[in-house]
Chains A and B, each alone.
Chain A
Amino acid sequence: MKFGEFGGIYVAETLIQPLKELEKAYEELKDDEEFKEKLDYYLRNYAGRPTPLYYAENLTKKIGGAKIYLKREDLLHSGAHKINNTVGQALLAKFMGKSRLIAETGAGQHGVATAMAGALMGLKVDIYMGAEDVERQRTNVFRMKLLGANVIPVESGSRTLKDAINEALRDWVATFEYTHYLIGSVVGPHPYPTIVRDFQSVIGRETKKQILEIEGCLPDVIVACVGGGSNAMGIFYPFLNDDVRLVGVEAGGKGLNTGRHSASLCAGKKGVLHGMLSYFLQDEDGQILDTHSIAPGLDYPGVGPEHAYLKEIGRAEYVAVTDEEALKAYLELSKTEGIIPALESSHALAYAMKIAREMSRDEIVVVNLSGRGDKDLGIVMNALGDGL
Chain B
Amino acid sequence: MINRSLITYVTAGDPSKELTLQFLDVLSRYSDVIELGIPFSDPMADGKTIEKSHYRALKSGIRVKDVFEIVERFKDDHKTPIVLMTYFNPVFARGLENFVRNARESGVDAMLVVDLPLEEAKEYIDVCYEYEMKTVFLASPNTPNDRLRAIDEASSGFVYLISLYGTTGEREKLSSLAFDLIKRAKSICRKPLAVGFGVSKAEHVRELLKAGADGVVVGSAIVRLIEVYGEKAVEKVDEKCRELREGLNF
Contacts and interface: CB of A to CB of B under 8 A. Distances in A.
Interface string B112-130: 0011110110000000000
Interface string A166-197: 10011001111100000000000000000000
A48 interface: no
B80 interface: no
A14 B165 CA distance: 7
B41 A287 contact: yes
Contacts of B90: 285-287
Interface stretch (B26-34, B136-144, B185-193, B217-225): B136-144
A29 interface: no
Interface stretch (B44-52, B71-79, B202-210, B235-243): B44-52
Contact of A17 (B92, B94, B114, B143): B143
A9 B119 CA distance: 7
Interface in B48-83: 48, 51-52, 55, 58, 63-64
Interface in A198-237: none
A284 B94 CA distance: 8
B42 interface: yes
Contacts of B140: 12-14, 16-17
Contacts of A277: 92
Count chain A CB atoms within 10 A of each CB in B43, B47, B119, B144 and give the residue with the most: B119
Contacts of B93: 269, 271, 282, 284-286
Given A13-B139, A174-B166, A272-B89, A166 B144 contact: no
Interface residues of A, number: 37
B154 to A, nearest CB: 12
B55 A157 contact: yes
A337 to B, nearest CB: 40
A154 B165 CA distance: 21
A51 B141 CA distance: 46
A contact patch SS: mixed
A271 B64 CA distance: 16
A58 interface: no
A272 B166 contact: no
Count chain A CB atoms within 10 A of each CB in B51, B93, B119 and give the residue with the most: B93
Nearest to B165: A174
A286 B45 contact: no
A273 interface: yes
B16 interface: no
B88 A166 contact: no
A287 B140 CA distance: 27
A321 B209 CA distance: 59
A372 B137 CA distance: 47
B7 interface: no
Contacts, number: 111
A132 to B, nearest CB: 16
Contacts of A12: 44-45, 114-115, 117, 138, 140
B92 A286 contact: yes
B143 A272 contact: no
Chain B interface bracket (under 10, 10 to 19, 20 to 34, 35 or more): 35 or more
A103 to B, nearest CB: 16
A62 to B, nearest CB: 44
A288 interface: yes
A166 B117 contact: no
Contact of B92 (A157, A162, A272, A275): A272
B225 to A, nearest CB: 20
A169 B92 contact: no
Interface in A244-287: 269-275, 277, 280, 282, 284-287
Count chain A CB atoms within 10 A of each CB in B40, B63, B165 and give the residue with the most: B165
B115 A16 contact: no
B120 A9 contact: yes
Nearest to B67: A285
Nearest to B99: A286
Contact of A173 (B89, B143, B167): B167
A166 B89 contact: no
A100 B74 CA distance: 48
A156 interface: yes
A170 B89 contact: no
B223 to A, nearest CB: 15
A79 interface: no
Interface of A: 8-14, 16-18, 156-157, 162-163, 166, 169-170, 173-177, 269-275, 277, 280, 282, 284-288
Interface pairs A-B: 9 shortest CB-CB: A286-B93, A174-B166, A286-B89, A14-B140, A13-B138, A286-B90, A12-B45, A287-B41, A288-B41
20 contacts: A10-B116, A12-B114, A12-B115, A12-B140, A14-B165, A16-B117, A16-B119, A17-B142, A156-B55, A162-B42, A163-B42, A174-B167, A176-B165, A272-B88, A272-B92, A274-B44, A285-B63, A286-B89, A286-B92, A287-B41
